[in-house]
Chains A and B, each alone.
Chain A
Amino acid sequence: MTRRTETLFLSAALAATVSGCLGGDAASRTAANLPPFCQEVLPRVEAFLAGFAHPEEPRFGGTAIVGTIGEMPSGMNALVSTDYTASQHQTFVHLMTLVRLDENFEPAPYLAESWEFDEAAETLTFRLRDDVYWHDGTPTTADDVAFTFARATHPETGFPNAAFWAHYAGGEAGVRVIDARTVEFSVAPHAEYLDSWRSTAIMPAHLLGEVPPAELRQHPFGSRCPVGNGPFVFESHQADASWSFRRNPAFPEGLGGPPYLERYVYRIIPEQTTLLTELLTESIDFYLSPGPDQVPQIEDAPHLGLRVFPFRGYDIVAWNSRRPQLADARVRRAITLGIDRGEILQAIRRGHGTVANAGVPPFHWGYLAETADSLSHDPERAAALLEQAGWSDRDGDGVREGPAGERLELTVKYNLGNQQREDIAQILQAQLDPLGVSVTPQVVEWGTLLNQINTPELRDFDGVVIGWVPEFRVDDRDLFHSEEVDQPYGWAGTADPEIDRLVDTLRVVMTREEAVPLWHELQYRILEVQPYTYLYHVERLAGLNRRLEGVRLDARGEWVGIREWWIPADLR
Chain B
Amino acid sequence: MTVFLLRRLVQAVPIVLGIATLVFFLLALAPGDAVSFLVSPNITPEALEQIRRNMGLDQPVHIRYLRWMGSMLTGDFGISLTRNEPVRDIILAILPNTLTLSLSAILLAFAGGILIGVFQAVRHNRLADSALSVIGLFFYSMPSFWLALMLILVFSLGARNLWEWPIWFPASGMTSVDYPFMSPGEQIRDRLAHLVLPSLSLALVLAAGIARYMRASMLEVIRQDYVRTARSKGLSEFRVIARHALPNGLIPIVTLLGLYLPTFFSGAVLIETVFAWPGMGRLVVDAIFQRDYPVVMAGTFIFAVLVVIGNLVADALYAIVDPRIRYE
Contacts and interface: CB of A to CB of B under 8 A. Distances in A.
Contacts of A104: none
Given A7-B320, A18-B104, A277-B157, 10 more contacts: A22-B100, A25-B187, A73-B82, A239-B83, A239-B90, A274-B152, A280-B161, A283-B171, A447-B290, A450-B37
A209 to B, nearest CB: 19
Interface of A: 1, 3, 6-7, 10, 14, 17-18, 20-27, 29-30, 33, 35, 63, 65, 71, 73-75, 77, 80, 82, 155-164, 214, 217-220, 222-224, 236, 238-242, 244, 263, 265, 267-271, 273-275, 277-278, 280-281, 283, 445-448, 450-452, 454, 470-471, 475, 477-479, 487-489
A477 B42 CA distance: 11
Interface in B112-163: 149, 152-153, 156-157, 160-161
Interface in B29-81: 30-32, 36-47, 50-51, 53-55, 79
8 contacts: A1-B1, A71-B83, A82-B40, A158-B50, A163-B42, A239-B278, A274-B275, A281-B157
Nearest to B88: A33
Contact of A278 (B47, B50, B171, B187): B171
Contacts of A488: 45
Interface in B89-118: 89-90, 92-94, 96-97, 99-100, 103-104, 107
A270 B283 CA distance: 12
Interface of B: 1-2, 30-32, 36-47, 50-51, 53-55, 79, 82-86, 89-90, 92-94, 96-97, 99-100, 103-104, 107, 149, 152-153, 156-157, 160-161, 168, 170-175, 177-180, 184, 187-188, 191-192, 195, 273-276, 278-279, 282-283, 286, 289-291, 313, 316-317, 319-320, 323
A236 B180 contact: yes
Nearest to A221: B84
B316 A161 contact: no
B242 to A, nearest CB: 16
Contacts of B42: 160-164, 471
Which of A6, A73, A163: most chain B CB closer than 10 A? Answer: A73
Given A223-B83, A489-B41, A22 B274 contact: no
A277 B153 contact: yes
A61 B49 CA distance: 47
Contact of A10 (B275, B278, B313): B313
B324 to A, nearest CB: 12
A75, A163, A470, A487 interface centre (most CB from chain B within 10 Å): A163
Contact of B103 (A17, A222, A269): A17
Nearest to A244: B177
B38 to A, nearest CB: 5
A7 B178 CA distance: 39
A257 to B, nearest CB: 24
Contacts of A22: 100, 188, 191-192, 195
A448 B187 contact: no
A74 B84 contact: yes
Contacts of A219: 84
A274 B38 contact: no
B171 A274 contact: yes
A271 B282 CA distance: 12
B41 A162 contact: no
B46 A155 contact: yes
Contacts of B82: 73
Given A18-B104, A280-B161, A447-B36, A240 B278 contact: yes
A302 B111 CA distance: 43
Contacts of B319: 6
Of the listed residues B96, B149, B279, the one surrounded by the most CB atoms of chain A closer than 10 A to its CB is B96
Contacts of A283: 170-172
A159 B191 contact: no
A100 B171 CA distance: 38
B152 A160 contact: no
A72 B135 CA distance: 42
Nearest to B82: A73
A63 B178 CA distance: 9
